[in-house]
A and B are shown apart, each in its own frame.
Chain A
Amino acid sequence: MTHQSHLRFKEWCKHALLCCVLFFAFVPFFLMLMISLKTNDQYTTNPWWFDAPSQWCWANWTKGWNTVGHYITNSIVVAVGSVLLCLTISIPTSYVIARYRFPGRELVYYALMATMFLPGGAAALVTTFKLISSMGLVNNLAALVLLSGIGGQVSCVFILRQFIEEIPKELFESASIDGAGHLRQMWSIMLPLSGPVIGTLAIMNFLGAWNDLIMPLILLRDDQMLTIPVGLMRLDGEYVKMWGELMAGYSIAAIPLVILFLFTIRLFVRGLTAGAVKG
């Protein structure tokens, strides 16, 4: 084999491997769509196979929409609210921690970081519930926004702080001599320079709130209030056999995310590649 063709062969091997990975990653996606269009009969005879629907059963989607439709609004409210809350509180904090040395700086930073190592777990679920109910926020989407936004700020501060520290400090100093206060420095220097990173953090937080199951399960009561994962889990219990509708529901639940990614994927890929997410 010549050196050239050897190189080309190596490239093909890499492509083959990556395609293999992609295949496995997309199987759930594909199956979800397929099952959502199958009749329940076809599904039960041969449930997990890649055969095309014998009858394209669009009725599943109609029913799926009827069940999921109003959960979507709830999910969007929770996820968007959580992202907004998370960013508005974590951006100033990371700015302050990254830019200044002052008494108490380490204390706040380590208090934030330590929460990643708290056992949290099931025991804290109960005390958290107790807290939320004492605030009268049970069965209220605001509780989810608060919990997810405040929980999400930890990783935001962790990552943003590093990025701000990598911005040459002369830029901030120059801006402050030019007459910029804290807010202006954040708005004009920090935000434009860490845009992809902040965008990626926002998306990660959005996904976290979107997919969260345990907290909504505990905190939400009324059917009107449920977010998509909880709503569909209830659906799972109600119609055990109705796989088509269930998967149609999940497919519909994925649509907002698809739209989100359509607009932000370049930003997101750039942010991820820049190291916007650690661990």
Chain B
Amino acid sequence: MAGILIKDLQKIYDNGYHAVKDANLEIRDREFMVLVGPSGCGKTTTLRMIAGLEDISGGEIRIGERRLNEVAPKDRDIAMVFQSYALYPHMSVYENMAFALRLRKMPKPEIHAKVMEAAKMLSLGNQLEKLPKQLSGGQRQRVALGRAIVRQPKAFLFDEPLSNLDAKLRGEMRYELKSLQTRLATTAVYVTHDQIEAMTLGDRITVMSVGEIQQVAPPTVVYEFPYNRFVASFIGTPPMNFVTGKLVREGDTWSCEMAKGQRFTLGMKERGKLAENLGKDVVLGVRPEHLHAPQVAPAGCAVCPMKVDVVEHMGDHQYIYLLLDGVEDTVIMKAPPQVKAAPGDIMPVHLDTAAGHLFAGTHEHAPNITLPAGFPRQQ
């Protein structure tokens, strides 16, 4: 068991594409670390460099005290679960799980014991003689897990292991993975593009974009204190609402002025960096659950009339898509079911700006200027 240390990691492909830039990351011992980001953000490349399947162009990777850069994949003592499972199609489930142990010249009885134990843990007991093609998607997934478990590696690497499953199975496997991880207590690095998986599975989340690490923190911190606009938009469904405006100040009241003259009074507590952005373009981000219908609104919200476009009923709550004059994207509100709204209505929407965030500038990675002073990017 050991932590993984990534220092100044670089990946540049032969065609000049810079896939990973200056990645610094410490994955603690027995931690479940999730790398999340859109496709092409460098998360899989990072994972494959940890596995040794990609050359490292710069920087270094360590497991425990051992530098991995020059170590062949087979000597790194890690196990990897692939997106396509990579089960050997010509070997039975048992042989698939025993393969790695046999290569390590483990005595037969010991192999048998380990495979049986893993099979029991994953309830694969009656499938051991079958070939992968005779198994269902979920079972294949379990075999892939079992193959990793029997190795008892220093670290597990998961490359989007649930993305080939249908929605229902994915939920179940997510649960199983989580409970398995708790039981095995091994360092794990898990790559996914699905932020729900990231939120539910990770002890900590690493959000990546365009080859760079944007933020590293426990799921709740990432959700509540996104380091920049990218993190804010990527984590959370439906995504955070963004409106662009100008930061203005009247006496003690700071507000964000929209193109059409609407103003949202800002209620954030941290205002340390507001002054340097006065008069500049800023983006106000408010999550759907911080938009309120008038009936249920708490006190102290900014109010703005918006037109209801579409209403989605989800049972215990509903999403109301709203049009705001002068804003291109729809604004989404998460409302309790008793709120009555029909397309075409004009609704005075209450924005809980105290729970919102302000980003300096309109670009994708604009920093969050409402974080507490000295808020760490990685924690």
Binding site for B on A (CB under 8 A): 101, 168, 170-171, 173-181, 184, 188-189, 192-193
A171, A177, A179: the one contacting B80 at CB < 8 Å is: A177
Across the two chains, which residue of chain B brings its CB closest to A174? Answer: B86
The B interface, classified by DSSP as helix, strand, loop or mixed, is: loop
Measured between beta carbons, the chain A residues less than 8 angstroms from B74 are: 176-181
Distance to closest chain A CB from B79 (angstroms): 7
In the bound complex, do residue B84 and residue A188 qualify as a contact, i.e. CB atoms below 8 Å apart? no
Distance to closest chain A CB from B223 (angstroms): 32
Distance to closest chain A CB from B160 (angstroms): 12
User: Given the complex of chains A and B, what is the CA–CA distance between A171 and B84 in angstroms?
Assistant: 9
Measured between beta carbons, the chain A residues less than 8 angstroms from B90 are: 192-193
Distance to closest chain B CB from A73 (angstroms): 36
In the bound complex, do residue B99 and residue A175 qualify as a contact, i.e. CB atoms below 8 Å apart? yes
Could you write out 30 A-B pairs with CB less than 8 Å apart? Answer: A170-B84, A171-B88, A171-B89, A173-B51, A173-B53, A173-B80, A174-B80, A174-B86, A174-B147, A175-B88, A175-B99, A176-B52, A176-B72, A176-B73, A176-B74, A177-B53, A177-B74, A177-B78, A178-B74, A178-B79, A178-B99, A178-B100, A178-B103, A178-B151, A179-B74, A179-B103, A179-B104, A180-B103, A193-B89, A193-B90
The A interface, classified by DSSP as helix, strand, loop or mixed, is: helix
Considering only residues 38-83 of chain B, those with a C-beta below 8 Å from chain A are 51-53, 72-74, 76, 78-80, 82-83
Measured between beta carbons, the chain A residues less than 8 angstroms from B276 are: none
Which 10 A-B residue pairs are closest in the complex by CB-CB distance? A178-B100, A170-B86, A174-B86, A179-B103, A179-B74, A192-B90, A170-B82, A176-B73, A177-B73, A173-B53
In the bound complex, do residue A177 and residue B88 qualify as a contact, i.e. CB atoms below 8 Å apart? no
Across the two chains, which residue of chain A brings its CB closest to B95? Answer: A188
Interface: B252 (CB within 8 A):
no
Distance to closest chain A CB from B67 (angstroms): 18
Count of interface residues, chain B, beta-carbon cutoff 8 Å: 25
Measured between beta carbons, the chain A residues less than 8 angstroms from B103 are: 178-180, 184
Interface: B14 (CB within 8 A):
yes
Across the two chains, which residue of chain B brings its CB closest to A167? Answer: B89
User: Given the complex of chains A and B, what is the CA–CA distance between A174 and B153 in angstroms?
Assistant: 14
In the bound complex, do residue B14 and residue A173 qualify as a contact, i.e. CB atoms below 8 Å apart? no
User: Given the complex of chains A and B, what is the CA–CA distance between A173 and B73 in angstroms?
Assistant: 9
Mark interface residues in B127-157 (1 if CB within 8 Å of A CB, else 0).
0000000000000000000010001000000
User: Given the complex of chains A and B, what is the CA–CA distance between A101 and B55 in angstroms?
Assistant: 12
Measured between beta carbons, the chain B residues less than 8 angstroms from A179 are: 74, 100, 103-104
Across the two chains, which residue of chain A brings its CB closest to B72? Answer: A176
Q: With A180-B74, A192-B90 in contact, do A174 and B82 touch (Cβ < 8 Å)?
A: yes
Q: With A170-B86, A171-B88, A177-B51 in contact, do A188 and B99 touch (Cβ < 8 Å)?
A: yes
Across the two chains, which residue of chain A brings its CB closest to B105? Answer: A179
In the bound complex, do residue A168 and residue B84 qualify as a contact, i.e. CB atoms below 8 Å apart? yes
Measured between beta carbons, the chain B residues less than 8 angstroms from A176 are: 52-53, 72-74
User: Given the complex of chains A and B, what is the CA–CA distance between A188 and B104 in angstroms?
Assistant: 14
User: Given the complex of chains A and B, what is the CA–CA distance between A170 and B159 in angstroms?
Assistant: 11
In the bound complex, do residue A171 and residue B86 qualify as a contact, i.e. CB atoms below 8 Å apart? yes
User: Given the complex of chains A and B, what is the CA–CA distance between A188 and B100 in angstroms?
Assistant: 11
Q: Name, among B74, B78, B104, the residue most crowded by chain A CB atoms within 10 Å (CB to CB).
A: B74
User: Given the complex of chains A and B, what is the CA–CA distance between A173 and B157 in angstroms?
Assistant: 13
User: Given the complex of chains A and B, what is the CA–CA distance between A177 and B154 in angstroms?
Assistant: 13
Since A176-B74, A177-B51, A180-B103 are in contact, a sample of 16 more A-B pairs with Cβ atoms closer than 8 Å, ordered by chain A residue number, is A170-B82, A170-B83, A171-B86, A171-B88, A173-B82, A176-B73, A177-B76, A177-B78, A177-B79, A177-B80, A178-B74, A178-B100, A179-B74, A180-B74, A181-B74, A193-B89
Distance to closest chain B CB from A192 (angstroms): 4
